[in-house]
Amino acid sequence: MTIWNPDISQYDLPKYKALATAIDDAIVSGELKAGDKLPTHRRLADTLSVTVGTVTRAYAEAERKQLIESRVGSGTFVKTHSSGSDFELNHPSKDVIDLSFSFALVLNQTEELAEELKALSSDAKLLREILEYQTPGGILRHREAGIKWLEMTGVYSGNTDRIIITNGGQHGFHTATAALCQSGDTVISCGLTYPGFSVVTQQLGLRHIGIEWDNEGILPKALRLACSRFKPRVFYVNTRINNPTCEVMTEQRIDEIAEILREHQIWVIEDDVQGCLQNKSIPTFANRHPDITVYITSTSKALTGGLRIGYILPPPSIDRTIRHALKASCWMAAPMMAEITSRWIEKGLALSIIQTQQKAMKKRQQLVSRYLDQYHYNSAEHSYNVWLKLPESRNAQEFCQSLAAQNVLVKPSTAFAAGNFVPPQAVRFCLGGDTNRSDLEKALEIIKAELQQPGPEIDFCF
């Protein structure tokens, strides 16, 4: 066990927050190193002359920030990857069933790519063209394919001059956020949201506020209060399917929210990276309120992760601002990737892959229902994700650790908490990637069995 005696008096914060901040600072300075075991709650409470409850809250706060992790029966440790761990791909062994990442199914993309590269290699003129610098928005035929992608997935603009090609969805909403915000600004989102956006807000020095929602999306009352209190610049949202909780926003709710955002002059960044797999008739901010919406989509979730091509559809009033931000970050999306993706769209392969994914996900969601119908979970017919609410006796971190010990990987709710939002006890697991049906059934059996187990014993003897 590490001997650690922090001075929390230097922080003008409540004691539990001061201790959580001290943990963060000690990790940054190297005083605490990855893998170090922290003092027990009782020992550190005695050392600092605080209550055990204060240490418990501090450890929970530090764990929520992905700084430390509790291991059942072993103690509390500094995380091996304390920063950006939600993006670490560990490529686990073949014995591990990894349901922690939301990936497109592995179909015949490898063979299709081989054929496409073979065709490209015989066209010297085209190869010369895509080896040159392009305009920041992308060349015309790539933008035309982008418009077709939007229409195919239910978003309509009809104007190739509006669309901007990006290196995937993450690049898209990083570009949009950087264009619309300055360090110190506030952004708001659902209290549980995609961790990639939280990373963007941290990198840009923004204050990220998570707000409450129901089964129709963000609560207007909570949004209005947040707008009045925090004066945000941007509202980030997954309209057609929230990641991770799988709610679908209704048309009425979109309009209610848009009215509030207009009143407070707040831009919408609509992340539809996973929405492209849903029913194209589901409403979007981009279709209903295009003048205040920066729409972001990507082919990566629907086709394959390595084709890092996405599209931004900004309002005309901030088009130039968005283009300048993209130019500053990378000048242009990779033309080779854009060419391959455009060809797949134009010849109908992209639509075929999407339809295959949708059929497979529908069957896999039915499989989830068969195993977990007696438990509380959210999902959508064509979604990769399942949001599983845990019994009252279970803790999300502990539940994930118990599953990991049985070679099944899922993500705890803490990974998705926006800002200081306190997450419920829940986990997200995913049905895509290269997980076959047999392994998925095995994982579901393990998850169901774990749900039937009582939580860990609580030590009341402090």
CATH (domain of 92): 3.90.1150.10
Are both 431 and 335 inside the same structural domain? no
Residue 292 lies in a domain: yes
Q: Which of 293, 316, 348 is the last residue of a domain?
A: 348
326 with 440, same domain: the answer is: no
13, part of any domain: yes
Q: Which residues of the chain have pLDDT under 70?
A: 1, 72-73, 80-94, 456-462
Answer yes or no: is 437 within a domain: yes
For 256-305, the DSSP string reads HHHHHHHHHT-EEEEE-TTGGGS-TTS--HHHH-GGGEEEEEESTTTT-T
Q: Give the Cβ contact number of residue 72 at 10 Å.
A: 15
Which pLDDT score is estimated for 181?
A: 98
Residue 462 included in any domain: no
Residue 50 lies in a domain: yes
Position 234 in a domain:
yes
- Please report whether residue 457 resides in a domain: no
436 and 326 share one domain: no
Burial class (CB in 10 A: 0-12, 13-18, 19+), 385: buried
Handedness of CA 278, 279, 283, 285 (dihedral sign): positive
Tell me what pLDDT residue 462 has. 45
Sign of CA dihedral 98, 100, 101, 107: positive
Residues 21 and 166 in one domain: no
- 372 and 407 inside one domain: yes
Domain count, the chain: 3
Task: State the pairing for strand pair 234-237/186-190.
Answer: parallel
Based on the fold, state whether residues 319 and 388 are members of the same structural domain. no
pLDDT for 87: 52
Number of residues that this document lists for the chain? 462
- Cβ neighbours, 10 Å, residue 338: 27
Residue 3 lies in a domain: no
CA atoms within 13 A on the CB side of 333: 32
User: What's the CATH code of the domain at 16?
Assistant: 1.10.10.10
**Are residue 230 and residue 304 in the same domain, yes or no?**
yes
Which of 330, 348, 366 terminates a domain? The answer is: 348
Question: Which 8-state DSSP code applies to residue 122?
Answer: T
Same domain for 301 and 253: yes
DSSP per position, 37-73 = BPPPHHHHHHHHT--HHHHHHHHHHHHHTTSEEEETT
Q: For residues 371 and 364, what is the distance between their CA atoms, to the nearest angstrom?
A: 11
Supply the pLDDT for residue 461: 47
- 439, 290: one domain: no
Q: Are residues 58 and 98 in the same domain?
A: no
CB 166, CB 310: distance < 8 Å: yes
* Same domain assignment for residues 384 and 251: no
Range of the domain at 369: 85-106+351-451
Residue 181 DSSP SS3: coil
- Predicted TM-score (pTM) of the model is 0.81
Domain end call among 348, 379, 408: 348
How many angstroms separate the CA atoms of 445 and 78, rounded? 31
Q: What is the pLDDT of residue 266?
A: 98
Whether residue 315 is found in the same domain as residue 190? yes
Q: What is the pLDDT of residue 71?
A: 74
Query: Looking only at Cα atoms, what is the longest distance across the chain?
Result: 76
